[in-house]
């Protein structure tokens, strides 16, 4: 049977700083102490800033993130070097090398962006001291840090993906592409599917962009709930853009192929933005729980700092989750069969094509489902059980309706998202059931992200007012010209 990618090179050799045996122990002690000093020093800074309210300012917010990035930066290279020195081994696995490249590039760039942000903070503090608190708002700081993470992740992923395409000495790459069988083999249905999914894509992207524009232009909507909604809308745009454009291109060109690197990139971003939606919906549920169950302490609990940490944590965990699954797929070999029974590179379908053992892959799927899947779902259920019980204790019908209306849109989105996801991955694996599962997967990958902006705008009085004001401003601006 023909084997697929990478069968020759399974590891590389790190030659280190010195080949002289008498220097090895000295190097081990030196770098161990430097590593411990760096990690403990950075943790001390984070702990000191976190425990002192007087240091909860933009400058120290950036410093906290820089300290955490430095810990990760040190941990990317030094521990492996120490292990190799102590074990007298110079080897690093292929997947381990790819992981190290990714994280090294990620945290180098993160340091670069954070230092730039700190320089801008000092510029505003010294050159515009009277406007410092207005310019360096918590929202701007959060966006700068989140943008640093996003750009650094994309930069690292791009370089890592390009390295994955390279064939090293001894490798044999038989499979360079997969075939996405899509939703239908009937040629007469292709044009209908193209028009349908093109409109769904455009509606979803435009609707989400309008939500972001309306929230950013209305100061009354600069609250935690709409901060989460802005991020959810941006995540939905990226989620739609991960699968639909490639499907549209394949339909229009009558070509079902997708390159090996393109398939891995699509799988990575699908897992990333799917996980990001999952975390953001959980964060929004917690926001509604605090607003309804602890209204007097809402502004204190849901502080800009906590919201920023929740968003940053969502990005970090989603990125790590996607990266681990992608790197585990990289180590697999594939058979001559390259037909994926889906319209995008879905993890389970790729594992079905592998010739090598996928026990570790399936084990990690199970572990991550438990760690970042089941936990947040129970958090969602707990939040809404408490919310419903609190609403039912409100004496007036008008008060109950007003309280429920604040979380009605979110509850609708949550119900649609999780019912379709669970329906897809818990259904039987028969051919008939798979066809139904394919239709359900279209719902949660395309239809629901398209519907989200309309659910939030049509069921939310504040959003309808903000959108109306946005369109009014646009019409006045256009008449002015």
**pLDDT tens readout for residues 102-126:** 888 888 888 888 988 889 988 888 8
Cβ 452 vs Cβ 233: under 8 Å: yes
pLDDT band with cut points at 50, 70 and 90 for residue 477 = very low
User: What is the structure's pLDDT at 473?
Assistant: 60
pLDDT at 64 over 80: yes
Architecture per CATH, domain 1-174, reads as: Up-down Bundle (1.20)
Please give the share of the chain, as a percent, with pLDDT higher than 70.
Answer: 81
Classify each residue of 259-289 as buried b or exposed e, where b means 16 or more C-beta atoms within 10 Å of its C-beta. ebebbbbbbbbbbbbbbbbbbbbbbbbbbbb
At residue 168's C-alpha, the angle toward residues 164 and 170, to 5°, is 135
Helices first, then strands: H and E counts in the chain: 17, 5
Cα separation, 241 vs 158, whole angstroms: 17
Helices 375-392 and 260-293: angle between axes, nearest 10 degrees:
30
pLDDT at 333 over 60: yes
pTM: 0.68
In the chain, list all ranges with CATH 1.20.1070.10.
Answer: 1-174, 183-481
Pick the CATH number of 183-481 from 2.20.28.270, 3.30.390.30, 1.20.1070.10, 3.30.420.40: 1.20.1070.10
Q: Phi/psi at 356 (nearest 5 deg)?
A: -95, 175
4 vs 206, higher pLDDT: 206
Cβ 281 vs Cβ 413: under 8 Å: yes
Cβ 115 vs Cβ 66: under 8 Å: yes
pLDDT at 284 over 70: yes
pLDDT band with cut points at 50, 70 and 90 for residue 433 = very low
Maximum alpha-carbon separation in the chain: 81
pLDDT at 329 over 70: yes
The total of other beta-carbon atoms located within 10 Å of residue 293's CB is: 16
Average pLDDT over the chain, rounded to an integer = 79
């Amino acid at each position: 049977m023909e084997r697929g990618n990478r069968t020759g090179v399974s590891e590389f050799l790190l030659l280190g700083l010195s080949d002289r045996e008498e220097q090895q122990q000295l190097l081990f002690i030196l770098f161990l102490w430097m590593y411990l000093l760096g990690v403990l020093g950075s943790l001390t800074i984070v702990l000191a800033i976190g425990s002192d309210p007087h240091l909860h300012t933009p400058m120290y917010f950036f410093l906290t993130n820089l300290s955490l990035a430095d810990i990760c930066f040190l941990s990317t290279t030094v521990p492996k070097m120490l292990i190799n020195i102590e074990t007298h081994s110079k080897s690093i696995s292929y997947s381990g090398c790819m992981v190290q490249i990714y994280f090294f590039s990620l945290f180098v760039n993160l340091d670069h962006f954070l230092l730039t942000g700190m320089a801008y903070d000092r510029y505003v503090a010294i050159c515009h001291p009277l406007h410092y608190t207005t310019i360096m708002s918590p929202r701007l700081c959060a966006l700068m840090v989140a943008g640093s993470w996003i750009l650094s992740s994309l930069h690292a992923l791009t370089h890592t993906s390009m390295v994955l395409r390279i064939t090293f000495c001894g490798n044999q790459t038989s499979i360079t592409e997969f075939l996405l069988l899509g939703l239908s083999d009937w040629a007469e249905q292709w044009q209908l599917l193209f028009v349908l999914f093109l409109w769904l894509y455009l509606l979803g992207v435009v609707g989400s962009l309008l939500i972001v524009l309306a929230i950013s232009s209305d100061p009354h909507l600069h609250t935690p709930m709409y901060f989460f909604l802005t991020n959810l809308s941006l995540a939905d745009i990226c989620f739609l853009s991960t699968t639909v454009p490639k499907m549209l291109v394949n339909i229009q060109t009558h070509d079902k192929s997708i390159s090996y690197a393109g398939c891995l990139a699509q799988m990575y971003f699908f897992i990333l933005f799917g996980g990001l939606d999952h975390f953001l919906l959980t964060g929004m549920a917690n926001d509604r729980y605090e607003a309804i169950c602890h209204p007097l302490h809402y502004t204190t609990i849901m502080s800009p700092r906590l919201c920023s940490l929740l968003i940053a944590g969502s990005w970090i965990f989603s990125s790590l989750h996607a990266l681990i699954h992608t790197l585990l797929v990289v180590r697999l070999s594939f058979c001559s069969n390259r037909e994926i029974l889906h319209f995008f590179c879905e993890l389970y379908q790729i594992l079905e094509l592998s010739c090598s053992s996928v026990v570790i892959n399936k084990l990690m799927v199970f572990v991550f489902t438990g760690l970042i899947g089941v936990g947040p779902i129970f958090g969602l259920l707990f939040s809404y059980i408490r919310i419903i019980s609190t609403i039912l204790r409100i004496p007036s019908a008008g008060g109950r309706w007003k309280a429920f209306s604040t979380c009605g849109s979110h509850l609708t989105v949550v119900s649609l998202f999780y019912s379709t996801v669970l329906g897809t991955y818990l259904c039987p694996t028969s051919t008939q059931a798979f066809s139904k599962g394919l239709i359900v997967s279209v719902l949660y990958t395309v239809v629901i992200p398209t519907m989200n902006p309309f659910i939030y705008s049509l069921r939310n009085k504040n959003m309808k007012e903000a959108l109306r004001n946005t369109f009014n401003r646009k019409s006045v601006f256009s008449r002015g010209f």
